[in-house]
Amino acid sequence: MPFDFIIVGAGLAGITAAEELANVMNKKVLILEKRDHIGGNCYDFINENGTRINKYGPHIFHTDNNLVYNYLSLFTMWDRHSHKILFKCDDTMVPVPFNFISIDKILPKEAEEIKSALLDKYDVKSKIPIKELVESENKHIKKLGDTIYEIFSKHLKKVYNINDNEIIEFIDKLLPFRTSYDCRYYENVYQAIPREGYTNMFNNMLSNHNITVMLNTNYHDIIKIDHKNKKIYFEDEEFEGHLIFTGMIDEFFEYKFGKLPYRSSILINEIIENDTFQDNAVIYYPEEYHFSRITDYKYLCGDYLESTTIQLEYPVEYDITSEEENVPFYCVPLEKNKEIFKKYRKLSEEYENITFIGRLTEYETLQMDEVVEKVLKLISEKFTGLSTEY
């Protein structure tokens, strides 16, 4: 079968692109995936305990975008889920994003003074950047900012393995403080999990006979890129179609400007013979222990089982040569790394018959709805000639 498009990567970006190209444009699409499953880091499965778990950590779909939600709803039913996370600070469980309840937990003796100072300056339901709290001239507000920043710093050191001088670069990215008692992690209109799981949704998206998926296939084995002449060779013959690349952009360009650092994780699942293991779906441990968080899947899968499955996540450096640590989870958005990425991004613009999209090619921690929105807009504008507002 001659293919019109080859897509590298069967994650959310690649699957969304394949679905649109096959169903809307009636194009023949080949997807190459080096792992033994589709879905990328969203992949889920039912374990021997009958619990549906995410292999690479919990994923909650959330969005305010009606078009994205309605698009994915073509392929799945949803179970609503208002996600909450807790940070274990000393012996106290603190809700994050930090809010008025968090103040009661981490600064109980000064809680009322801090709340009064906040409400004198800000409206209810405001979102205040942590940097603004830290730089406040009000001693109560500054105390709150310093305390939150210290907690986040411990978390960032563990997850990203960065030093004190680099942590300051993250302050603008920290979740803002909320002047409310709302403990939901997300405030989006739609917060849900696919009723039959992400993998089932992805299988539905790829059900068109125009789509061929090759698993356990490293794209290097069957695709060669002539970087000098900007040509693509598929199984030793020049490919006249279009390539959509969703993998690591530095790997594609053979690390011409150096490697972009990523963080990975080792995840260990354990069946617990109790209804639940902890009091919340996800609890982070910024201080003690080597693991960064524990997920209790009883809260996420909704199954009425007498036991649950927990997942411990241990942050590690991404290592493409390691069997355990060879999945890039998070980019490391320091300025020095962004400068390297910009060089790759500029170089990618020279390849007219190759499109780069997805979190790995954009070196950015994109939310699921952002990925879908970007891909739908790209396919609409670049390949169908339409200009749809997504």
Q: 30-87 pLDDT, tens per residue?
A: 999 999 999 999 999 999 988 999 999 999 999 999 999 999 999 999 999 999 999 9
pLDDT on residue 35: 94
Evaluate whether 10 touches 40 at the Cβ level (below 8 Å).
yes
pLDDT on residue 301: 81
Q: 184-221 pLDDT, tens per residue?
A: 999 999 999 999 999 999 999 999 999 999 999 999 99
Share of the chain above pLDDT 70, in %: 97
Query: What is the CATH superfamily name and number for domain 5-38+206-261+332-383?
Result: NAD(P)-binding Rossmann-like Domain (3.40.50.720)
CA distance linking residue 377 with residue 356, whole number of Å = 13
CA distance linking residue 196 with residue 77, whole number of Å = 8
CA distance linking residue 171 with residue 149, whole number of Å = 8
Give the amino acid at 246: T
Evaluate whether 315 touches 159 at the Cβ level (below 8 Å).
yes
pLDDT on residue 304: 72
Spans of all domains in the chain = 5-38+206-261+332-383, 46-64+74-84+184-195+262-331, 98-178
Tokens of 22: 């096959």
Band of residue 385 on the pLDDT scale cut at 50, 70, 90: low
Residue 387, pLDDT > 60, answer no
Q: 250-260 pLDDT, tens per residue?
A: 999 999 999 99
Total-model pTM? 0.93
Share of the chain above pLDDT 90, in %: 85
Band of residue 1 on the pLDDT scale cut at 50, 70, 90: low
Residue 361, pLDDT > 80, answer yes
Q: 283-339 pLDDT, tens per residue?
A: 999 988 999 999 999 999 876 778 899 999 999 999 888 777 689 999 999 999 999
CA angle 225, 229, 231 (to 5 degrees): 40
Q: 131-189 pLDDT, tens per residue?
A: 999 999 999 999 999 999 999 999 999 999 988 889 888 888 889 999 999 999 999 99
pLDDT on residue 388: 47
Residue 236, pLDDT > 90, answer no
CA angle 317, 321, 325 (to 5 degrees): 40
Kindly report the backbone phi and psi dihedral angles of residue 286, in degrees, each rounded to the nearest multiple of 5, phi listed first.
-70, -20
Rounded mean pLDDT of the chain? 93
Q: Which of 301, 320, 315 is nearest to 267 (CA)?
A: 315
Give the amino acid at 84: K
pLDDT on residue 288: 83
CB atoms within 10 A of CB 134: 19
* Residue 360 host element (H or E): helix 359-362
Tokens of 195: 């009723």
Q: 269-298 pLDDT, tens per residue?
A: 999 998 889 999 999 999 889 999 999 999
CA distance linking residue 110 with residue 188, whole number of Å = 31
